[in-house]
Amino acid sequence: MGVGAIISSCGRKKSNEELGLPPILDHAPDGQKLKAGLIGTGHRGTGAAFNFLGAGPNLEVTALADVFQERINTCRERFKKYGIEIPEENCFVGFDSYKKLMETDVDVVILATPQHFRPEHFKAAIQNKKHVFMEKPVAVDPVGIRSILSTAKRAESLGLCVITGTQRRHQQDYIETFKQIANGAIGEIVAAKAYWNQSHVWLRTREKDWSDMEYMLRNWNNFIWLSGDHILDTHVHNIDVINWFTRKYPSSAIGYGGRHRRVTGDQYDFFSIDFDYGNGLSSHSMCRQIDGCADGVGEVVVGTKGYSICTHNANKIYNFNGSVIWEYEYPKSDDDPLKQEANSAYIQEHIHLVTAIRTNQYVNEAEQTALSTLTAIMGREAAYTGKRITWDEIMNSDQRLGPTEYKMGLVNMEFEFPVPGTPINV
């Protein structure tokens, strides 16, 4: 009897439905044509639009919106290579382009702009009765989070489906690991660790004719008000996994971070945060973007009987002797038996969305992703201030990042990176 059978043979196990897990399907069922509009036509947005098209039959992308014309042009050219023509009259440019797209006959909107704009765009989508796929994180500040939570309730009242870009929740290896933990494979959870350590991210040199606003939009992942810092932009994936696996949200956070290598923007290079989940359970959460350092992305969950480690294509459970007692068996490629393949979680997200719409099986991930984003915001502010930040404090904070008016030109904001504590008197 194999290892997986040993674990699963003890007692009744909870089903996917009982655990709130999405089905893993090869494609969504056929049904009436669904048209999607894409807001934010950069690399991730264009990728998400192709993921939508790959989710099943009778799906189209028919409208585009972005602040920059050349982004629209590049996106249209990519679609054209695959025989997809998006008419000029359905391409909208400018800060208000999302409003114009909402007036078209699309059924679904894909929100993939910098996350500062997500609450406003989500609210407009639901007001216009559109189903939504929106990328994570879903806001950059507590004011934005409360807006997302309010709009999520409105979406539910209207029966509008919402899927977010936390693709690990749609990834089969993570789903199977979660099921093992939920069914007692590691016992009671007592500790966790999450990490996303990598080299620096992309940046663009400022050109002479770029205004402040244009420069920041073209370098959005280097500015706190647009990205929320990388503890939100990337590390929220790992933070969300810990919240998901523990089925809890932390009550407080304390930690630190700093900036030593960055030459642009106002963000930190690294964060190290301790999230307190109560009853002695804490999670150490770290992320770093510095060249020439050890890299790694993953999550560790420790229980009273063993522990799980989830990394890229290697999800396993160990006992305290270090022996593997369960591991996810990845399907092999027909072309290369040594190459592991997993169903693309990026496509599974859209399969789940289209399936929910066509089968009237309601789904709305906005709240859970908003709360994981808020967890990351709490950790960020703990590092920025050097103080312990509680869940209630961050949930009720009036912090709002960014300008109140959106137009190309001078941005009247100070961009000094945060320094915690007080000076030493000597």
* Three-state DSSP string of 113-136: CCHHHHHHHHHHHHHCCCEEEECC
For 36-81, the pLDDT digits (tens) are 999 999 999 999 999 999 999 999 999 999 999 999 999 999 999 9
Q: What is the pLDDT at residue 1?
A: 25
Domain coordinates in residue numbering, the chain: 34-167, 178-343+366-395
Q: What is the pLDDT at residue 111?
A: 99
Residues 6+ apart with CB under 8 A from 172: 24, 328, 342, 343, 345, 348
Q: What is the pLDDT at residue 19?
A: 85
Q: What is the pLDDT at residue 97?
A: 99
For 259-298, the pLDDT digits (tens) are 999 888 999 999 999 999 999 999 999 999 999 999 999 9
Token pair of 108 as six digits: 């679904």
Q: What is the pLDDT at residue 338?
A: 60
Q: What is the mean pLDDT of the chain?
A: 94
Q: CA nearest 218: which of 377, 227, 415?
A: 227
Residue 4 has pLDDT above 50, yes or no: no
Q: What is the pLDDT at residue 343?
A: 73
Determine the longest span between alpha carbons in the chain, in angstroms: 73
Token pair of 375 as six digits: 């967890």
For 295-352, the pLDDT digits (tens) are 999 999 999 999 999 998 899 999 999 999 999 999 877 777 666 555 799 999 999 9
Q: CA nearest 2: which of 402, 238, 326?
A: 326
Residue 160 CA to residue 287 CA, distance in Å, equals: 34
Q: What is the pLDDT at residue 339?
A: 60
Which of these ranges, 42-46, 243-247, 388-392, 414-418, has the smallest mean pLDDT? 414-418
Q: CATH: 3.40.50.720, 3.20.20.70, 3.40.30.10, 3.30.499.10. Which one for 34-167?
A: 3.40.50.720
For 354-407, the pLDDT digits (tens) are 999 999 999 999 999 999 999 999 999 999 999 999 999 999 999 999 998 999
Q: What is the pLDDT at residue 258?
A: 97
* Angle at CA of residue 174, ends 287 and 166, nearest 5°: 60
CATH number of 178-343+366-395: 3.30.360.10
Average pLDDT for 145-174: 98
Report pTM: 0.94
Local confidence band at 18 (pLDDT 50, 70, 90 cut-offs) = confident
Q: CA nearest 109: which of 86, 128, 132?
A: 132
Owner of token pair 């790959």: 54
Owner of token pair 């009036």: 398
Residue 253 CA to residue 265 CA, distance in Å, equals: 25
Q: What is the pLDDT at residue 426?
A: 78
Q: What is the pLDDT at residue 341?
A: 58
Which of these ranges, 5-14, 171-180, 245-254, has the smallest mean pLDDT? 5-14
CB 339 within 8 A of CB 333: yes
Residues 6+ apart with CB under 8 A from 321: none
Local confidence band at 125 (pLDDT 50, 70, 90 cut-offs) = very high
